[in-house]
Amino acid sequence: MNLDLIIFVISAAVAVFGATLMIAQRNPVASVLYMILSLVAQAVCYLQLGALFLGAILVVVYAGAIMVLFLFVIMLLNLRGKEDMGPPAPVVSQFTKLVFGILLTLELAFIVKAAPFGGSSTGIVDERSYSFGSVKAVAETLFTDYLYPFELTGVLLLIAVVGAVVIAKKHRQVESSDGRSETPGRAGEEE
């Protein structure tokens, strides 16, 4: 047992544990917190694979910003996991979904097992490399070979920000001619 293997086993176990509890929780806030736990464990795996920059980005942007956005929305909507979710799905349906998920996982695992990458090894103790996957190496590739995709990503982010604001904006109350107020967003609703 060397140190790299121990680190990998612990972080992989924590990542799978967090992901499993994430989908099993009833309370969405606990679900988000387990997702953050899983993401931090995955960031350790990224570091072991030599992706130093992306490991930091995963913790800062994903666990720090996107998951907090989820938390904000959950708290904005005041979801506590106690609202009425209707009767639970039938056992047969749940079991079928679980079996299909496990079958898909097994199938992917067989495909991955056939990939010819068994020889290369990773780690942050023995196989340490500071240059591969560092900020400098990633930036050199990002700003030379992938410059146009990078710029287009900026445009995409702008569109997403504008779109999110437009979608989530409250529709203003429209005063109709007879003085009655109506909300245009609810006009087509049947209930």
Partner 1 sequence: MVPVSAYLILAVVLFGIGTVGVLISRNMIVLFMAVELMLNAANMALIAFSRALNLVDGHVIVFLVLTIAAAEAAVGLALIVMVYRNRETVNIDRFSLMKW
Give, as ranges, the residues between 114 and 173 that touch partner 1 (CB under 8 A): 115, 117-123, 126-127, 132-133, 137-138, 140-142, 145-146, 149-150, 153, 156-157, 159-161, 163-165, 167-168, 170
Binding mask 50-89 for partner 1 (x = CB under 8 A): xx-xx--xx--xx--xx--xx--xx-xx-x-x-xxxx--x
90 versus 179: smaller Cβ distance to partner 1: 90
* Cα(66)–Cα(73) distance, integer angstroms: 11
Binding mask 36-55 for partner 1 (x = CB under 8 A): --xx--x--xx-xxxx-xx-
81 versus 177: smaller Cβ distance to partner 1: 81
Beta strands 181-182 and 174-175: pairing type? antiparallel
Which amino acid, one-letter code, is at 85? Answer: M
Answer for which of 109, 130, 151, 173 binds partner 1 (CB under 8 A) is 109
Q: Retrieve residue 191's tokens.
A: 């209930």
Q: Retrieve residue 129's tokens.
A: 């490399």
- Please tell me the number of Cα atoms within 13 Å of 61 on its side-chain side: 6
CA torsion sign for 34, 36, 41, 46 is positive
Answer for which of 10, 20, 75, 184 binds partner 1 (CB under 8 A) is 20
- Name the DSSP letter for residue 63: I
35 lies in the site for partner 1, by CB under 8 A: yes
Closest approach of partner 1 to the CB of residue 78, in Å: 10
CB-based contacts of 15, cutoff 8 Å, min separation 6: 38, 41, 42, 45
